[in-house]
Every structure is written in C-alpha cells, then in structure tokens.
Amino acid sequence: MFESLSDRLSGILDKLTGRGALSESDVNEALREVRRALIEADVALPVVRSFTDKVRVRAVGAEVVKSVTPGQMVVKIVHDQLVEMLGADAEPIDLNAPAPVAIMMVGLQGSGKTTTTAKIARRLATRDKRRVLMASLDTRRPAAQEQLKVLGEQNGIDTLPIVAGQGPVDIARRAIQAARLGGYDVVMLDTAGRIHIDEALMHEMAEIKAATNPHEILLVADALTGQDAVNLATSFDERVGITGIALTRMDGDGRGGAALSMRAVTGKPVKIIGTGEKAEALEDFHPRRIADRILGMGDIVSLVEKAAEAIDAEKAAKMAAKMQKGHFDLEDLAEQLRQMEKLGGMSGVMGMLPGIGKMKKQLDAANLDDKMFKRQIAIIQSMTPEERRKPDILKASRKKRIAAGAGLDVAEVNKLLKMHRQMADMMKLMGKKKGLFGKMMSGLGGGLGDALGGGMPDIDPKQLEQMARSGQMPGGMELPKGLPKSLPGSAGLPGFGGARLPGLGGMPGFGPGLGKGKKK
C-alpha cells in the first residue's frame, strides 16, 4: 500500500544523503516535496502540517548542523517523526481482563468486519492459545450469522448457536452467558453494519455496549477509503467510544493516507491490519516497522515472525536432516515452494527486505512472478511419487505427460528440473562440507538446529532492527554476489546465497544474484 509514497520519500531523502553539507534552504526544499508527497498519499492536511513543522524545527537545528552526516541525520528525524505520527509504540489487542473478555467489532457494511472477526479469533486461538467463542449480532444482513458460522467451522472456532427471531442485544447477552458457562477466554461480538452511519445504528451499538461491557471495541475500517475511514473512526469514537482500529485491505493499491492519519486525528491506535484474504493474513500494527517500510529500510523482524508462524518446524527439521546428507528431491522442492507461498510469495518477502525499493529495475529484469510457485507446484503434483523421488527417470515422454497434466509447456518442466538439479548439486556440496552447511543454514542467529528444536531462535527484535539498519549481516554472512553492498540484511532472503529464514533452504531458481532468475 505504501509503495508509491515510499518511492517518493526515498527519492527526496536520497538527494539529501548525497550531499556533504546542508543549508536551511536545502531542508526547506526537501520538506516541500515531502509535504506534497504526503498530501498526494491522502494524509490528512493537519497531520501533514504538524509533521513537516516538527521535522523542520529539528532538521535546521544544531543536531543536524553539527552532524558528521547531516543527510543521514535528516533521514533519522523524518523516520522518528513518522513513528510518532503512526503512534510510537505498538498497542496489541488487550486481553488483560477477567474471562470471558468481550471484544465488540463495529463498522460499516463491506469493510470486512465479519471476516476480520474470524481472523482475530483464529489468531487468538492459534497464537495465544485462548478459547474463543464468536457470536454474530447481525440480524439484518441476509445470511450474516450463517457466514460467521461457516468461517468458524473453517478455522476451528466455536460460534454461538443461531436462534431465529432473537434481537442483537439478547444475542449479545446470551453470548456472554454461554462464554462464561463454557469456560471461554474470549467472546467476539460481530455487530451489524450499515451503508452509512445513522441514528438507529448508533443506538443499537450503545445498547450492546451497555449490555456486555466489552473490554475492547474495535472499529473495522477499509484502508482503501482513505480519509473517509478517518472520519468514520472519529464519528464512532464520539458516539460509541472505540478502543482501537482494525484496518482492512492494507495489501491493496491505495495511497495509505488512512493508516498514516488515523492515530494523529482520532487519538485511537491502529491495533490490527488485514493484509490479504486468507485467514492468517493479519498482522499487529507496529508503527516503527511501518515507518521502516515506508522509508525503504525493510521489516526483517516481521518477516522472521511470519516465518515462525508459517513454517512447520517438524517438517523443516526433517528437510534439514535430509539436506545435511546431501538429499534433495522434488518433494522437498514442493515443500519449499509452499513455504514461500505462506510467506506471501516473492513480493511478500521482497517487500520486507531493506533497500529492495531501490532495485526496481533489477527486479523487473528478473521477471519475478508469484504465480511461478503455483505453476511449479502444479508440475510436481502431476508427477508420480516415484518421479518425485527419482527425477533422473524423467525422459521426453514422461515430461510431455507431466506438462499436459499441469496445463503447461514441456519447456516449463525442463526449467523446473534444471532448477532442482542446481539446488540438489548445491545440497550435495554442502553435505560434504559439514561446516559450510551449518553456516549457510544458521539463519538469523541461533542456528537452524536450535531453531527447529524449539520453534524460532531466541532473537531480540531490537537486535534484528539494529542489524538491518547498520548493514550488519546475520550470523556473520557476507552479501551474495549480484546485490548491492549497501543492502543490509538481504542475505536473509531464501535462495540469495546467504543466511536464510529458518526452515527455508533456498529460494528456488535463484543463484548468487538476481540475474540468475531471469527468464529467457
């Protein structure tokens, strides 16, 4: 969502960092461009004014003038003010209350309220190990209660049985009672929405709030609506009193103004952001990490956290053991492709790496395509179990059959087999050099062996952030050939020849540099 703004700000700040000394006029000219970029990103005008005024006061002060690298100091000031504008510290959903903790979800129709309710419930159940009960209070929208029930079944979350003819307030009271008697830790109340705010909606919200006394009232707002989302949050807060905001569709191509303005205008924190349609596509809102992404500094910490949730440690341990022996068949390759898909594909991973925004030309030349994973998995699934274990038996007739089964050309099958052969050769080489394999798979500190034994290694997120900013490589690894030396942390991208995310042996199809992945 922040790609356009990130490109604009990076270009503006790069001009400053390239100069040895800065005058006040240089800073003012840069801030005029920053102001224009923020306004075009749909950030609220009062927020833009406050932001640029605060940056100007610090940027023309003694801390910049006396700095050895004034350009870098201005970048730091812009980053710090971005963090402050976004809310400084992350504020996750608060469950610090006697069970059952009631979480009331409010918002307009079409904002993704019911889906977000199910996503949060799944997250609390899987990550926080809480027993969650969901209840739909929407008696107006056709099949709204059935929708939540289906989502509950899909994600293994209990839902309150539907009683025909019961009103929203009565359903809410029944949900609290059922949660209390059933020993649930959390009860999620999915309220009805409207096409627009009206008196009847606000009256209903107030009645439900009085009947259930929710610990959290989360407003679900569509990030693509820009400043309308900010105005909506202000209205709901004045009438109902929200405790936080869940922004949906943050993976869209909107301008990001809602996310940047929300905290400053409403005073309420953005707690959760939806980053896709899948049930697991939900993230905590970390102001510092969002600021890092906007300024092209990457978000290594979130990438590692996502890897910890997405990767099956037991499967990864078995794969690592096979690799250490120099074994790597097509089943292993398929598993790695699935893991990359869980991490959001190439675009999802690349978007969190520092400096990637400045490599657009190289990335475009490499023809990176997230659909590539689906095509390659389809090819492998078209093979027999024996063919996956012994790819050497694949001759012309078998390749033709596999290509037809996957709906692709034989050339695609040959590309996949060539890629697998290169990776298998590398695994054999690494298997012979025991120390090399341990070093290559050490990951972001702690070692893969330790990581797989007990989940993720015990990494301090602040240490990771510091490493990403300073250009220090995890585990003492060097940057792979073909990537700029100024790209801190890039060796954490699977398959670029350096340290890897735990459980990922390498990004298929990429050798030591981006150019190796270029399509012919």
Binding residues for GTP: 107-114, 190-194, 248-251
Angle at 386 between CA 380 and CA 387, to 5 degrees: 40
The gap between the terminal CA atoms of the chain, to the nearest Å, is: 31
Task: Say if CB 169 and CB 208 are below 8 A apart.
Answer: yes
Helix (H), strand (E) at residue 451: helix 448-453
Per the annotation, binding residues are: 107-114, 190-194, 248-251
Residue type present at position 310: A
CB-side neighbour CA atoms (13 Å) of 88 = 4
Number of residues that this document lists for the chain: 520
Separation CA 474–CA 46 (nearest Å):
41
Separation CA 85–CA 270 (nearest Å):
12
Separation CA 259–CA 266 (nearest Å):
11
CB-side neighbour CA atoms (13 Å) of 102 = 24
Q: Which residues pair with 189 in a beta bridge?
A: 104, 135
Task: Say if CB 275 and CB 223 are below 8 A apart.
Answer: no
Q: Phi and psi at residue 340, in whole multiples of 5°? A: -65, -35
Contacts 24+ apart (CB under 8 A), 28-31: 28/56, 30/74, 31/55, 31/56, 31/59
Using CA atoms, how far residue 44 sits from 14, 49, 241, in Å, is 25, 9, 22
Q: Which residues pair with 182 in a beta bridge?
A: none
Task: Say if CB 459 and CB 466 are below 8 A apart.
Answer: no
Separation CA 508–CA 506 (nearest Å):
6
